[in-house]
């Protein structure tokens, strides 16, 4: 998601021997737009059809049919009874394209002429459930953020 925040910021110059330093806090809404989405799985695992992990997919094929399948499609037996490989799946069509929520941060900045260096910690939380279909889950997205930055003031 590409997030576009609108932030209201309040701050205080520290003054005295710390006059170049400023502390601030900001918060506000955001809107975000889905750019891409992939589900990535690594490793291998057998696929079981029961909670006790005693029956693989192959075990559910009727015993009378197993020899026929084994003779005609041995690769299918391997797929149903052995470890299944994982990989990457594009899931963009399963997710909502727009999200909205709140974001906020706390920061400390140092001003030196037109240069400003800053460090911010914050976070965001989206109110929209990401999955279109609840059979794929029902999750919100959020994150904790740390920003280290530099700003240059144009003009006076």
Q: What is the mean pLDDT of residues 117-127?
A: 98
For residues 116 and 110, the answer to whether their CB atoms sit within 8 Å is: yes
Please give the Cα distance from 114 to 106 (Å, whole number).
Answer: 22
DSSP state of 76: H
Do both 31 and 101 map to the same domain? yes
Do both 33 and 56 map to the same domain? no
Lookup: tokens for 90: 């594009």
Q: Which of the two residues, 46 and 101, has the higher pLDDT score?
A: 101
Lookup: tokens for 13: 């110059």
Q: What is the mean pLDDT of residues 45-63?
A: 80
Domain range enclosing 55: 43-85
How sure is the predictor about 43, in pLDDT bands with cuts at 50, 70 and 90? low
Do both 148 and 104 map to the same domain? yes
How sure is the predictor about 40, in pLDDT bands with cuts at 50, 70 and 90? confident
Do both 139 and 69 map to the same domain? no
Name the pTM for this structure: 0.67
For residues 63 and 77, the answer to whether their CB atoms sit within 8 Å is: no
Among 29-33, 43-47, 116-120, whose mean pLDDT is lowest? 43-47
Query: Which of 85, 115, 141 is the C-terminal boundary of a domain?
Result: 85
**Domain count along the chain:** 2
Please give the Cα distance from 131 to 124 (Å, whole number).
Answer: 18
């Amino acid at each position: 998601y590409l997030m576009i925040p609108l932030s209201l910021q309040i701050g205080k110059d520290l003054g005295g021997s710390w006059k170049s330093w400023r502390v601030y806090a900001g918060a506000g809404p955001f809107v975000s737009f889905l750019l891409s989405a992939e589900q990535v799985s690594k490793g291998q695992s057998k696929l079981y059809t029961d909670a006790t992990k005693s029956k693989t997919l192959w075990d559910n094929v009727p015993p009378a049919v197993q020899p026929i399948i084994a003779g005609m499609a041995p690769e299918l037996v391997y797929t149903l009874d052995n470890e299944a490989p994982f990989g990457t799946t594009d899931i963009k069509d399963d997710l909502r394209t727009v999200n909205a929520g709140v974001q906020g941060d706390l920061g400390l900045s140092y001003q030196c002429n037109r240069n400003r260096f800053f460090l911010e910690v914050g976070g965001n939380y989206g109110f929209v459930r990401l999955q279109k279909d609840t059979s794929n889950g029902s999750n919100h997205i959020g994150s904790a953020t740390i920003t280290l930055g530099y700003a240059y003031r144009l003009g006076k």
